[in-house]
A and B are shown apart, each in its own frame.
Chain A
């Protein structure tokens, strides 16, 4: 069974994580631009970061036969520094033609502020203008419901938007209905304590089916583990789902969503 990790921050992981992922048949991973754990003090720091995830990481991953893809964008947390955020957004388009860049992400909301909304909206405009995929970060914990609603409202203002090209990540029990009703892809993030557990991810798949559903482990500098993606695979098999449907979730679905960009080279089985 081949596995694609749609959301992981390899900049924060060791090479040994690439090795472990490879041993578990992960053949591709996607790295959205995000908050570094501290607020960066200059636009140049973002420029360097975007360069890192479009040059160094693909090379590091390639040693383990993993294709590394990236999403470029201004994360919502640092969008609060609106001057800096505007400057960063101005050079986001410069990175979109890099060979491993799939689109704009992870963009969205964090604390649902007006600055965050401005920067989110600007980047949605860029994505539509350049016909790129979008990888959306929905807020954490108590801010998630309101933030997801607000993000849907922002996107509803763009009638030309192709909803097939947008994935709302970090979806959970209370936000799935609205994301799916609106026709977007939904990503479920497994993250110890504060997001989904492997068991709840499988619950969600049992309730909603597998169409336009993605699962990721979102490994980063926090308490997280790329292996939780594989725990979800095992949990799904343990519940009695056959391997064919499991692979359709963890391999074919990412191929369908990400494969809308010709740069993404893996093909779904069907």
Chain B
């Protein structure tokens, strides 16, 4: 498999994406709060989202692929 190699260093990428990553995480946090504030629910989709959040930030590679696989029926 030969992909494209970006000339960017990891630090440069972090500079590019840090605020965006922060913002996405904050939006997720506030959406959980929003649902809970209305009394919450035991809807299985919330459990699914919590697991997806764990995958998204875990220490292993291919997070996006595993995220999508986790959702695939």
Contacts and interface: CB of A to CB of B under 8 A. Distances in A.
B34 interface: yes
Interface residues of A, number: 10
Contacts of B20: 193
A45 to B, nearest CB: 29
B16 to A, nearest CB: 12
A112 interface: no
A47 B33 CA distance: 46
A194 interface: yes
A203 B33 contact: yes
A206 interface: yes
Main secondary structure of the interface of B (DSSP, over half): helix
Given A206-B37, A207-B37, A199 B30 contact: yes
A199 B33 CA distance: 12
Contacts of B53: none
Given A193-B19, A193-B20, A194-B19, A199 B27 contact: yes
Contacts of B31: 199
A127 B20 CA distance: 37
A200 interface: yes
Interface string A190-208: 0001100101100100110
B56 to A, nearest CB: 18
A141 B18 CA distance: 12
B40 to A, nearest CB: 15
A203 B23 contact: no
Contacts of A194: 19, 23
Nearest to A206: B37
Contacts of A199: 27, 30-31, 34
A199 B20 CA distance: 16
Interface string B1-29: 00000000000000000011001001100
24 contacts: A141-B19, A173-B30, A193-B19, A193-B20, A193-B23, A194-B19, A194-B23, A197-B23, A197-B27, A197-B30, A199-B27, A199-B30, A199-B31, A199-B34, A200-B26, A200-B27, A200-B30, A203-B30, A203-B33, A203-B34, A203-B37, A206-B34, A206-B37, A207-B37
Interface of A: 141, 173, 193-194, 197, 199-200, 203, 206-207
